[in-house]
Chain A
Amino acid sequence: MKNYITVVGLEVHAELKTKSKAFCSCSTSFGSEPNTHVCPVCLGMPGALPVLNKQVVEFAIRTGLAVNCEIQRFNKFDRKNYFYPDLSKNYQISQFDKPICLGGHIDIHVGKEPKRIGITRIHMEEDAGKLVHSGSTIKTSDSSAVDYNRAGVPLIEIVSEPDMRSAAEARAYLEKLKAILEYIDVCDCKMQEGSIRCDANISVMSEDATEFGTRAEIKNLNSFRALERAIDYEVERQIELIEDGGHVVQETRTWDDAQGMTFSMRSKEEAHDYRYFPEPDLVPVEIDDTWIERVKSELPELPAARQVRLMSEKGLQAYDAENIVATKAMAQYFDDAAKHTDDAKGLANWLLGDVSAYLNNENIEIDKFPVTPAHLGELVTLIKKGVLSSKLAKKVFVEMVKDDKAPKDLVKDLGLEQVSDSNELQKMVDETLAENPQSIADFKAGKDRAVGFLVGQIMKKSRGKANPAMINEMLLKKLKE
């Protein structure tokens, strides 16, 4: 078998956080009764016309600037024609040949090497409504009910270059993009709720080929895991196909998460011909330098800048800082917790270690983490001050995620306070020395390791609560007498 290279490009749809829809004044709020945030425009009533929401353009410019795109001065909208019951006009207002942003990039890290992923374009468009199927899946349903509350909610579609070479790179790109969209506050970025949606264009090419292979477009990738699994599955499917002497057809496929497979979506001979043409109900949008400069000046801190700030202000290592800023929520948590400890490094270790492990285990994001930043900060401080050993701190942590109490109260409740009372410690040192004459002899004979053994004995005696630094000191003093 030949060696194959994986080639992936992503198309990411992000729902913009506007108050009203893209082309009408209906509310964008989520989770209401069906067809209650609708009007003649988003219901596609005869005679209704679109009027563009200024905030949509603002958010698109902001996004473009955040991912290093060139903002286009002349903008127009086009109609993308296709029939589907959730599309109230049976055309989507989108941008075809004049997208608002062109030619940007995002830098990702997979392993040690940084890599730059190109962004081809970003364009503005409107979302469709929602189909509620009568059965459990679209295939088993006799009927569906259409809800147009989401119809007309503004989207930006961010199209990458086919620059990713593995599922891990695709994931890293999507994570980075999601972080940026969160930082600049243009999108809620809740993949589960569909406020950020991802389609992947996947192809394989043999190592010695000079051109990309035929790609398949995979839809319905609703989580990072789905994205990775779908790429791995699809790459394997395509390689097998080629190795068996077949060839990949350019088509749209859907990811079935339960079955862990992609399926062709082509129905009969329906070739897609969207018949784009300029939307005559909207006039062009011209963006001048003043507008761009204003948006630029209002741009919030981006992950890269925040990473640098954490390194210089808090003394974090590059790797730790990068991981802390990977999501806006994590970075915010760090900042909030850091107010309660001066051990930034220790805090970072906790966040990237035990806290992250907990989040992974529970499959939640940091915004659902039960421990408040203040309490985690206090925990780190207790360790730093020597009130808790890191071993005991882990015990406290386990309690904290169950019941978010102040760590110093938990320490008391659990009776885990470190013993730093010198009288008490001296008693333990004296007892231990009395019980272990051989160790004293070893020490005197030059075997320094004996100290470690004795410290261990004392820790055991104190059930881990003895302050190790203090007993170390006391032991040495006593041994050297």
Chain B
Amino acid sequence: MKVTAKEVRHIANLSRLTVPDSEMEKFTEQFNQILNYADILQELDTNGIVPTPYVLPISNVLREDIAVEGVSHEDALLNAPEVHNGGFKVPRVIE
């Protein structure tokens, strides 16, 4: 097994998600199934292979430093679940 339920919980925490205890076993099993399958990559010798994070052969896409009016204050807050004093209201920031 690549990951245990405890590690799954840690990953969930990093992702700001929770996996309920009732689903943990199945979730961990499916997670491991995928990670085990990923082992086939270890067959490949990739020493010295330059990684491809970008498929495009382009660089230096730059914008001039010109300030432009953004969206209206109303539009900015249009979808806000809660608003306070023109800001996006959130419950206390620390637990």
Contact = CB atoms under 8 A, between A and B. Distances in A.
Q: Direct A–B touching in the complex (beta carbon < 8 Å)?
A: yes
**Range of interface residues on chain A?**
35 or more
A35 B73 contact: yes
Interface string A263-305: 0000110100101011010111110000000000000000000
B85 interface: yes
A467 interface: no
B90 A143 contact: yes
B56 A19 contact: no
Interface in B1-42: 13-14, 16
B62 interface: yes
B68 A20 contact: yes
* Interface residue tally on B, bucketed by range: 35 or more
Interface string B77-95: 1000001111111111111
Q: Interface on chain A toward B: helix, strand, loop, or mixed SS? A: loop
Given A52-B62, A54-B64, A285-B60, A143 B94 contact: no
Interface of B: 13-14, 16, 53-54, 56, 58-71, 73, 76-77, 83-95
A386 interface: no
A282 B64 CA distance: 16
Given A35-B76, A38-B71, A283-B56, A142 B92 contact: yes
Contacts of B61: 51-52, 282-283
Given A35-B86, A38-B76, A275-B14, A283 B59 contact: yes
A144 B60 contact: no
A55 B86 CA distance: 30
Given A52-B63, A57-B62, A285-B62, A141 B93 contact: yes
Interface in A11-25: 18-20, 24-25
20 contacts: A19-B65, A19-B66, A26-B70, A35-B77, A40-B71, A51-B62, A52-B63, A54-B64, A84-B93, A85-B93, A131-B93, A141-B93, A143-B89, A143-B91, A144-B92, A145-B85, A145-B89, A146-B88, A148-B88, A267-B94
Contact of A33 (B56, B59, B86): B86
Contacts of B84: 134, 143, 145
B71 A138 contact: no
Interface string A247-268: 0000000000000000000011
Interface of A: 18-20, 24-29, 33-40, 42-43, 51-55, 57, 76, 83-85, 131-134, 138-139, 141-148, 267-268, 270, 273, 275, 277-278, 280, 282-286
A145 B53 CA distance: 36
B73 to A, nearest CB: 5
A147 B66 contact: no
